[in-house]
Amino acid sequence: MPGVYARSSDEPVDKLLRVLKKQVERAGIMFDLRKKEHYVKPSVAKTIKSRKARVRVRKEKAKEARR
């Protein structure tokens, strides 16, 4: 769990917030929160996953065609 402690009382709060934001991002907390913001039915999740896969394959084929 990310956490930041001030070493001294004169340490700037902006710096501490920046460090905390980096720790939260590295831990993936915001990603999980956005993901769990709304319930997604399993059938919809499957559809989204297959669409993303199709786009990824299409991009890979286009990249190979350029070579």
Into how many domains does the chain fold? 2
**Are 11 and 32 within one domain?**
yes
**Are 47 and 23 within one domain?**
no
- Backbone dihedral region for residue 34 (phi beyond 0: left; psi -120 to 50: alpha; all else: beta): alpha
The mean pLDDT value for 2-20 works out to 88
**Are 32 and 46 within one domain?**
no
Band the pLDDT of 2: cuts 50, 70, 90: confident
Question: Residue 26: which domain range?
Answer: 1-36
Q: What would the pLDDT profile of 14-52 be if each residue is shown by its tens digit?
A: 999 999 999 999 999 999 998 899 999 999 999 999 999
**Are 1 and 27 within one domain?**
yes
